[in-house]
Structure 1
């Protein structure tokens, strides 16, 4: 035990002086404009008050994919006990070449009013199958009857 403490202190000093790892990059996926229906409060639950906002359409466009947002989905957002809204969406994209992509997003509102999103994609289409295996993030900006989302794929450090 006597030699163990200096070993631990030495390791802690090594970790503290280690260089910051390389920062991952981001690759732009698309910008999306989504129209919304009237919000419906479905009441309080154990984690806050849930409001359902229908997703009624829209479009998206980027360097590797573009198309439309189908009238098939909603944001099941939650306002917690501290008043912070967190998005919780499920909706469907259809690319210009006919592929269907299911998307889920979630994430909290920030002090500046934007919402930081985690984005998860699902598709069986071979041309877009790569989306199933990426980590993606988005920034959502709210408008009057619509939202705009810019999405990026996380890349390994170079």
Structure 2
């Protein structure tokens, strides 16, 4: 009987705590800090075909430039988008390519994310560099919005910031 009373007391306490959480305002939303705008040139796609995860298309990345408040440079002719089209016809990017800053630092970047109904892609960006100046990129959460053109894409990128206290 003691065990049942203890269990009931715990459930009532949990229920009261959950109700208290429901009455609170939602937490403050994180902010975004602009990283850069990128203009990337592309070669014609290579059709891999249907596979177990969808229809794979490889789009070679051939160059471009990027500029922002903390970093500027060029997109090297090194990398591609190994995107997939799923059973519903939605394209999802899966890129790996190389940035080089104006001061010579090399930054490897991976992006992924699905196309939206307006034709833009929402991207997750992951950076990797050994440069001391840009090492902070290894430890950020970043997002981007991709707009495509004929033979190029434009990507605007932002860093996620903690909400103001």
1:69-91 CA-partner distances (Å, limit 9, x unpaired): 00000000001111111000000
Match of 1:113 in 2: 119
Question: 2:71 matched to 1:65?
Answer: yes
TM-score (norm 2): 0.93
Match of 2:104 in 1: 98
Match of 1:41 in 2: 47
1:4-25 CA-partner distances (Å, limit 9, x unpaired): 3322321221121122111111
Query: What is the CA distance between 1:44 and its match in structure 2?
Result: 1.5
- For 1:17 and 1:113, the matched residues in 2 are separated by 38
Match of 1:144 in 2: 150
- For 2:139 and 2:52, the matched residues in 1 are separated by 32
Match of 2:85 in 1: 79
- For 2:8 and 2:138, the matched residues in 1 are separated by 51
Match of 1:156 in 2: 162
Alpha-carbon RMSD across the aligned residues, in angstroms, is: 0.9
- For 1:95 and 1:38, the matched residues in 2 are separated by 26
- For 2:41 and 2:120, the matched residues in 1 are separated by 17
| Residue segments in structure 2 that go unaligned for 5+ positions in a row | 1-6
1:29-73 CA-partner distances (Å, limit 9, x unpaired): 000000000101112222111100000000000011001000000
- The structure number with the bigger radius of gyration is 2
| Residue segments in structure 1 that go unaligned for 5+ positions in a row | none
Query: What is the CA distance between 1:28 and its match in structure 2?
Result: 0.3
